Amino acid sequence: MKELKLNKNRFMKYPGNIIFRLMFLFSAIIITFTGCKEQQPVRRTIVSPEIHQDKSITFRYLAPGAEKVELSAEFLSENLLMTKDEDGLWTTTTGPVTPDIYPYFFIVDGIQVHDPNNTYLFPNERFKRSVIEIPGDPPLLSEIQEVPHGNVTYRYYKSQSLDLIRPVLVYTPPDYGKNPETRYPVLYLIHGMTDTEETWFKVGRVNVILDNMIAQGLAEPMIIVMPYANPLPALLEKNEEVDMNVLSTDYFTDDLINDVLPFTENNYSVYTDAGNRAIAGFSLGGRQTLAAGLGNPDKFAWVCAFSPAIFSNELENNFKNLYASPASLNSKLKLLWVSCGKDDGLYDASVEFTSLLEEKGIRHRTFFSEGGHTWMNCRLYLSEIAKLIFN
């Protein structure tokens, strides 16, 4: 509670009536608008989450009317019960937490909510999480540091395959554009099921990781293209007859090959040979990566599947053409990389898949890490492949 009290005191140091008039006005606007007088009055400055020196964390949530508030976080093995003070402020303090970036949320009388006092949100079609970044010492690759920074640009392209205007995010490395003659290799990077084109940027910290790795000489400068790999909501909105099988990779492959690649190559100073194109993706994006990448070895020489959503009963079938001519595939692919966490529900399938690759004589690398189906692992996998690709 120290920081909270400190803030209140600091705030109270400036009692000039103007500040109170403004806060009253905003409170009035918000209270009028919400019709929710007992909730989150803006006049109280709540700090949540608050990270302490020893990396323990205090979470706070104001809900005087609630009967039970819990914290659910990806660094916890089970939810933490929060306790209420006389003002209705619910609080819990964790033990020290390993530095990383974690999703979390509150469960208020059984209802999942964001932390209202934390700006940092997880972009997703379905679940809504707040995100906490716990800094490391020395700083993690995912922490913004004083190094040259690349850019992340939000763009639109017209997908002829989908007949839709689609969003795409593009990371350009720090030196991009300084010398118009310089060309770059391109990594196409795909999010997981229910994620969006923003998830690799906001949660995957792709730009920060690459900026830091480039600064340390650990990765080649590259462009990273992050499309929105789920067109189903937009197609449904147009009332099109769409195949709702979320495991189908056809929409994505068509859009990637026929629209995203030409868009990238027409708008950025990039190499256009397979040796300078990589594809990587997480979960359903890992499945899409294998389909689009291994299905087009003339287009992608680097194919990296992070915790891919593949299933043993389809392994023989889906990649039949590849197994038929391993020598041809081996001569085209510079890297086939499969990773998974040992606690991930998809771990067994990844092991089976890579065993089958072994058996068929298809050259590949595996990276089986601790942990589960998480974005903590996504960032780890990205930093691992960034060392390998385009080298």
- By CB under 8 A, the residues from 130 to 169 that bind a copy of itself are 144, 146, 149, 151-156, 158, 165
Q: Give residues 356-385 in contact with a copy of itself (rule: CB under 8 A).
A: 372-373
The only residue of 1, 7, 271, 347 in contact with a copy of itself, by rule CB under 8 A: 7
Judged by beta carbon, residue 201 or residue 302, the one nearer a copy of itself is 201
Task: Put residue 283 in one of left, alpha, beta given phi > 0 → left and psi -120 to 50 → alpha.
Answer: left
Residue 293's SS3 state is helix
Give the interface segment with a copy of itself, choosing from 106-114, 274-282, 291-299, 378-386 (CB under 8 A): 106-114
Site residues for a copy of itself, 319-358, by CB under 8 A, read 345-346
Distance CA 90, CA 67 (A): 10
Interacting residues with a copy of itself between 113 and 132 (CB under 8 A) = 113-114, 116-117, 119, 121, 123-128
* DSSP β-bridge partners for residue 130: 104, 121
Which residue, 7 or 258, is less far from a copy of itself as judged by CB?
A: 7
Angle at 331 between CA 325 and CA 334, to 5 degrees: 120
Binders of a copy of itself among residues 22 to 41 (CB under 8 A) are 22, 25-26, 28-30, 33-36, 38-40
Nearer residue to a copy of itself within complex by CB, 128 or 364:
128
215: number of Cβ within 10 Å: 15
Q: How far is the CB of 208 from a copy of itself (least distance, A)?
A: 9
107 CB burial (10 A radius; 0-12, 13-18, 19+):
middle
State the nearest-atom distance from the C-beta of 111 to a copy of itself, in Å.
5
Place of tokens 């795409």: 168
Nearer CB in complex with a copy of itself: 342/387: 342
Q: Which 204-233 positions form the footprint of a copy of itself (CB under 8 A)?
A: 207, 233
In 3-state terms, what secondary structure has residue 175? Answer: coil
Q: CB of residue 246 vs a copy of itself: minimum separation in angstroms?
A: 7
* Binding mask of the shown chain, residues 173 to 202, with x at each position contacting a copy of itself by CB under 8 A: --------------------xx-x----x-
* Number of amino acids touching a copy of itself (CB under 8 A): 84
Instruction: Report the site for a copy of itself in 291-310 (rule: CB under 8 A).
Output: 309
Q: Among 14-22, 94-102, 219-227, 271-279, which window interacts with a copy of itself (CB under 8 A)? A: 14-22
- Residue placing its CB nearer to a copy of itself in the complex, 14 or 217: 14
**Helix pair 375-388, 206-215: axis angle to 10 deg:** 40
Minimum CB–partner distance for residue 363 and a copy of itself (Å): 27
Q: Tokens at residue 98, please?
A: 């390993």
As measured in angstroms, the least distance from the Cβ of 341 to a copy of itself is 11
Query: What residues contact residue 328 under an 8 Å CB cut-off, 6+ apart?
Result: 297
170 CA to centre of own chain? 14
For the chain, how big is the Rg over CA atoms in Å? 24
- Of 279, 269, 282, nearest to 299 (Cα)? 279
Minimum separation from the CB atom of position 256 to a copy of itself (A): 20
Phi, psi angle pair for 151, to nearest 5°: -120, 150
Q: CA 382, 385, 390: angle at the middle one, nearest 5?
A: 125
Residues 206/209/212/217 CA torsion (nearest 10 deg): -90
| Residues between 241 and 270 that touch a copy of itself (CB under 8 A) | 242-247
11 versus 330: smaller Cβ distance to a copy of itself: 11
With respect to a copy of itself, which residue has the nearer C-beta, 140 or 333?
Answer: 140
Strand, helix or coil for residue 188? strand
81 binds a copy of itself (CB under 8 A): no
Helix/strand/coil percentages in the chain, nearest 5? 35, 25, 45
Distance CA 349, CA 139 (A): 34
User: Least distance (Å) from a copy of itself to the CB of residue 333?
Assistant: 26
| 382, 190 contact by CB (below 8 A) | no
Minimum Å distance from CB 312 to a copy of itself?
10
Q: Please pick, from the candidates 85, 175, 314, 348, the single residue that binds a copy of itself as defined by CB under 8 A.
A: 314
